[in-house]
């Protein structure tokens, strides 16, 4: 296998002339049949880490992914790079009998290089029995943080994967991938999958072009937001609110004040949601006021600001949501409004949940409080949370936050902590 020219394969299948970040090292590890663990921020290019070796290696790679929409996008994209229709398949409960037969035939014939499955399909007895008898090149577990209760998207079915994998084959190499960088989640993933010897590849989570700012949230928060948006008129921005009601109210307030804004939340019908999303992407409007329902898969490169009207429930969520600003490498202003009573509100939301979940939720919220109230470099805080060292004097983007630009005096910093 050593004579494979990976750059040539990359060009042939994807048309790219360079690997991004650690992709090439990851791919070499998979080709050498070793387990690997990939931690890269969203947009880092994780899919290619398993897609390219799947296309190169003999047999079918199984890709576990939690969302049907994500799988479908990837399968469509893969089919467009090859004339072979069965090169990538999805195996799930939406298929009828004859479709399932076709999928299985393509795997047996060696046509299918990637088989996307949801964890609940993989655990089905008939699928395990079938896959056991096939040539499986490796197993990729995308969005692997779903394994951990400390992640933002825990899926209990992900916890059964290890048992299933062992039944499908003893020596199938595993690659787990996630954009969740917290050490706790990483540990959970490695332990649960039983791949503690996996080679770990971690990209930096630093976003040097993002400016982080936290302001106290007062009764005049709406006026503060209007002023900020007007000072940035003509630029694209997202404003996140906790509730649908607040989204509706704030978008109306902005409209009344002459700002072109639309609301976006899961309570709107799908036609309206799609329309508002398109208006934002096409720049018919400047601002989307949204709940966290907005953003998954939104790839607008020139979002210039992300405002949090309400503080998010974890540093992870904050990082993901602010991360939608400045994708093109240009300016990205991340402004969050913070009041301790919003933390209490978030605590109250959790009160109906199981105790274990409440404890985790509480611990994550305490980190948010510490972040909002800190007087050290915000970037250093975030990166430390993700297990990364950052030099707040010489690091890339070191002066890109409010605390570094306007250091609080010692006594002020203390006064700020009014719990
Ligand atoms: P992730 O899963 O890490 O969020 P994706 O796999 O969705 O990221 O990739 C993000 C984007 O980067 C995609 O548009 C993809 O086509 C692009 N990309 C991936 N690898 C390369 C590369 N080597 N050169 C150029 N673009 C790439
Ligand atoms: Mg991905």
Look up the ipTM and state it: 0.99
pLDDT band at 21 (very low <50, low <70, confident <90, very high): very high
Tell me which ligand sits closest to the C-alpha of residue 22.
1
Q: Is the CB of 13 under 6 A from ligand 1?
A: no
Q: Is the confidence at residue 4, as pLDDT, over 90?
A: no
pLDDT at res. 53: 97
Give nearest CA residue, ligand 1 atom 24.
16
Q: What are phi and psi of 116, to 5 degrees?
A: -90, 130
Model confidence at 137: pLDDT above 90 = yes
The answer to whether 213 and 336 have CB atoms below 8 angstroms apart is yes
Residue 82: phi, psi to the nearest 5? -140, 145
Question: Given pLDDT bands bounded at 50, 70 and 90, which one contains residue 43?
Answer: confident
pLDDT at 83: 73
Kindly state if the Cβ of 40 falls inside 6 Å of ligand 1. Answer: yes
CA-wise closest residue to 288 among 323, 241, 245: 241
d(CA 345, CA 109): 56
Angstrom distance (rounded) from CA 266 to CA 272: 10
Q: What is the pLDDT of residues 227-277, one digit of tens each?
A: 999 999 999 999 999 999 999 999 999 999 999 999 999 999 999 999 999
Any ligand 1 atom below 6 A from CB of 79: no
Q: Which atom, in ligand 1's list, is nearest to the CA of 20?
A: 23
Computed over every residue of the chain, the mean pLDDT equals 93
From the CA of 10, give the closest atom in ligand 1.
23
Give the number of other CB atoms < 10 A from CB of residue 297: 10
Q: Which residues surround ligand 2, an ion (CB under 5 A)?
A: 46
pLDDT at 295: 79
The span from the CA of 107 to the CA of 88, in Å, is 10
Q: Which residues contact 395 (CB under 8 A, 6 or more apart)?
A: 206, 379, 380
Render pLDDT for 288-297 as a digit per residue (tens, 0 to 9).
Answer: 999 998 876 6
Q: Identify the residue whose C-alpha is closest to ligand 1 atom 16.
A: 45
Alpha-carbon dihedral 247, 251, 253, 255, rounded to 10 degrees: -170
C-alpha distance from residue 26 to each of 162, 216, 384, 411 (Å):
21, 43, 24, 49
pTM score of the predicted model? 0.89
Give me Rg for the CA atoms of the chain. 23
3-state secondary structure of 338: strand
Place of tokens 């990205």: 332
Residue-wise DSSP of 268-294 = S-HHHHHHHHHHHHTTSSSEEEE-TTS
For residue 119 and ligand 1, the question of a CB distance below 6 A is answered with no
Q: How far is CA 315 from CA 60, 204, 294, 307, in A?
A: 37, 16, 18, 15
Ligand 1 centroid from CA 44, angstroms: 6
Task: List Cα–Cα distances, 145 to 193, 283, 361, in angstroms.
Answer: 11, 34, 16
């Amino acid at each position: 296998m050593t004579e494979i020219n990976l750059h040539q394969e990359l060009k042939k299948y994807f048309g790219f002339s360079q690997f991004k970040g650690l992709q090439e090292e990851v791919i070499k590890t998979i080709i050498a049949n070793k387990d690997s663990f990939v931690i890269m921020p969203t947009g880092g290019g994780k899919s290619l880490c398993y897609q390219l070796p799947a296309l190169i290696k003999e047999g079918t790679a199984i890709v576990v992914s939690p969302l049907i929409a994500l799988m479908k996008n990837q399968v469509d994209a893969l089919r467009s790079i090859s004339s072979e229709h069965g090169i990538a398949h999805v195996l799930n409960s939406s298929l009828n009998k004859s479709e399932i037969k076709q999928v299985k035939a393509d795997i047996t014939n060696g046509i299918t290089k990637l088989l996307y499955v949801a964890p609940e399909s993989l655990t089905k007895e008939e699928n395990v029995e079938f896959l056991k008898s096939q040539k499986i090149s490796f197993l990729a577990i995308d969005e692997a943080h779903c394994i951990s209760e400390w992640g933002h998207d825990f899926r209990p079915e992900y916890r059964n994967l290890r048992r299933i994998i062992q039944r499908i084959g003893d020596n199938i190499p595993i690659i787990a991938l996630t954009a969740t960088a917290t050490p706790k989640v990483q540990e959970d993933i490695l332990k649960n999958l039983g791949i503690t010897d996996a080679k770990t590849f971690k990209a930096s989570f630093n976003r040097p072009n993002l400016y982080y700012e936290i302001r106290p949230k007062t009764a005049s928060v709406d006026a503060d937001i209007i002023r900020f948006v007007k000072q940035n008129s003509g630029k694209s921005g997202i404003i996140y609110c906790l509730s649908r009601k607040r989204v509706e109210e704030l978008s109306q307030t902005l409209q009344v004040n002459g700002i072109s804004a639309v609301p976006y939340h899961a309570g709107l019908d799908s036609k309206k949601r799609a329309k508002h999303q398109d208006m934002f992407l096409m720049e018919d409007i400047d601002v989307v006021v949204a709940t966290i329902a907005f953003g998954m898969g939104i790839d607008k490169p020139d979002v210039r600001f992300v405002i949090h009207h309400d503080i998010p429930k974890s540093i992870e969520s904050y990082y993901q949501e602010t991360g939608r600003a400045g994708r093109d490498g240009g300016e990205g202003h991340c402004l969050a409004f913070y009041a301790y009573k919003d933390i209490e509100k978030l605590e109250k939301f959790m009160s109906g949940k199981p105790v274990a979940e409440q404890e985790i939720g509480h611990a994550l919220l305490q980190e948010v409080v510490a972040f909002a109230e800190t007087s050290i470099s915000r970037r250093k805080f975030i990166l430390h949370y993700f297990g990364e060292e950052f030099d707040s004097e010489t690091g890339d983007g070191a002066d890109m936050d409010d605390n570094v630009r306007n250091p609080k005096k010692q006594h002020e910093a203390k006064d700020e902590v009014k719990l």
